[in-house]
């Protein structure tokens, strides 16, 4: 009995350790030298990374974003992308948000260990909106190192302007791409999702300032949510799919105080996330077809 319990304890401990939450803080430095505070908290499991980032913490534009990506154990490199806004203090239009794509690599040892690399920002339409350098380290070590890190960032920026961009490392271990671009659906638009699972989870919320937007959510002709007011807190809906085609309809039942009716929707199938934004006029709808 003791042997069985000890074996189970080791297995359980291994699982917990393999999914340890990692917290990093640091600075994004734009090409013009402007620094922006940046934090990340995520879980890395078998090379797959999921978590969130916080940009501009403590400012009027503080924004929390979903972050996903991959980790290459051989090169100790993370490739991460902000995929969608989870919540924000900013009143700016959601289409003007700049989503960070980064590649960072472990450098240094012991107390000097940190992650450094480059980032590029993209609007939701794919157009580039920013680029620069990023330095991250364990949160508790940041305060002691921030002055030295800032100096090092500035020196590297000057040097990088005189150099050509490095070529992407070839023959890197291939991993399944699970990061999808946010889709914007307007009046009468539709999209198709090929689903491997028979169950999905749907999250619905308002990532901007709550303005009283209301929607109806209908799946396969059944009204799941009626005149539902979207809020910052995410509404979770689980649904078992039927074989073949499944139809999800989102219809605007009012426009709130800041038209159009805008909702953030995320459909999760196993480990794949499908981030969606609906921008609808009163009485109009968008359709999502799920095939399995």
Domain ranges across the chain: 19-160, 183-291
Alpha-carbon Rg for the chain, nearest whole angstrom, is 22
Within a 10 A sphere around the Cβ of 38, how many other Cβ atoms? 22
Distance CA 243, CA 225 (A): 22
| CA neighbor of 245 nearest in space, from 205, 177, 190, 201 | 190
Q: Does residue 27 contact residue 36 with C-beta atoms inside 8 Å?
A: yes
- For the record, the structure tokens of 238 come out as 């689980």
One pLDDT digit (tens) per residue for the chain, 292 residues? 434 333 333 343 443 344 678 888 988 999 999 999 999 999 999 899 999 999 988 889 899 999 999 999 999 999 999 999 999 998 888 888 999 999 999 998 776 788 999 999 999 899 999 999 999 987 766 666 666 767 778 888 878 877 765 554 443 433 444 557 889 999 999 999 998 889 999 999 998 888 999 999 999 999 999 999 999 999 999 999 999 999 999 999 999 898 999 999 999 988 789 999 999 999 999 999 999 8
Residue position matching structure tokens 């709808």? 285
- Give me 200's structure tokens: 């999905």
**Cβ neighbours of residue 83 under 8 Å, at least 6 residues apart?**
65, 66, 67, 68, 99, 179, 180, 181, 182, 273, 275
Q: What is the pLDDT of residue 221?
A: 95
The CATH class of the 19-160 domain is mainly beta
pLDDT of amino acid 267: 94
What is residue 144's three-state secondary structure? helix
For residue 205, give the nearest of 289, 251, 252, 266 by alpha carbon.
266
Fold of 183-291: Jelly Rolls (2.60.120)
């Amino acid at each position: 009995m003791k042997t069985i319990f000890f074996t189970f304890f080791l297995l359980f401990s291994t699982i917990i350790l393999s999914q340890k939450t990692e917290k990093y803080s640091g600075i994004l430095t734009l090409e013009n030298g402007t620094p922006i505070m940046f934090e990340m908290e995520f879980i890395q499991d078998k090379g797959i990374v999921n978590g969130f980032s916080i940009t501009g913490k403590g400012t009027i534009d503080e924004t929390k974003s979903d972050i996903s990506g991959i980790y290459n154990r051989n090169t100790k490199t993370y490739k991460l992308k902000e995929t969608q806004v989870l919540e924000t203090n900013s009143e700016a239009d959601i289409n003007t948000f700049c989503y960070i794509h980064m590649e960072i690599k472990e450098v240094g040892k012991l107390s000097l260990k940190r992650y450094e690399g480059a980032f590029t920002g993209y609007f939701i339409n794919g157009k580039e909106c920013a680029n620069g350098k990023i330095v991250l380290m364990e949160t508790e070590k940041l305060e002691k190192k921030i002055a030295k890190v800032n100096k090092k960032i500035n020196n590297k920026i000057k040097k990088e302007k005189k150099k050509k961009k490095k070529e992407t490392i070839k023959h890197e271990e291939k991993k399944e791409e699970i990061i999808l671009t946010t889709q914007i659906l307007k009046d009468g638009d539709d999209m198709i999702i090929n689903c491997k699972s028979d169950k999905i989870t749907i999250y619905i919320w308002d990532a901007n300032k709550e303005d009283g937007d209301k929607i109806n959510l209908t799946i396969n002709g059944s009204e799941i949510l009626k005149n539902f007011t979207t809020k910052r807190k995410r509404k979770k809906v689980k649904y078992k799919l039927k074989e073949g085609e499944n139809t999800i309809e989102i219809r605007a039942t009012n426009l709130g105080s800041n038209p159009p009716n805008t909702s953030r929707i995320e459909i999760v199938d196993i480990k794949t996330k499908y981030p969606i934004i609906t921008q609808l006029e009163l009485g109009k709808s968008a359709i999502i077809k799920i095939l399995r």
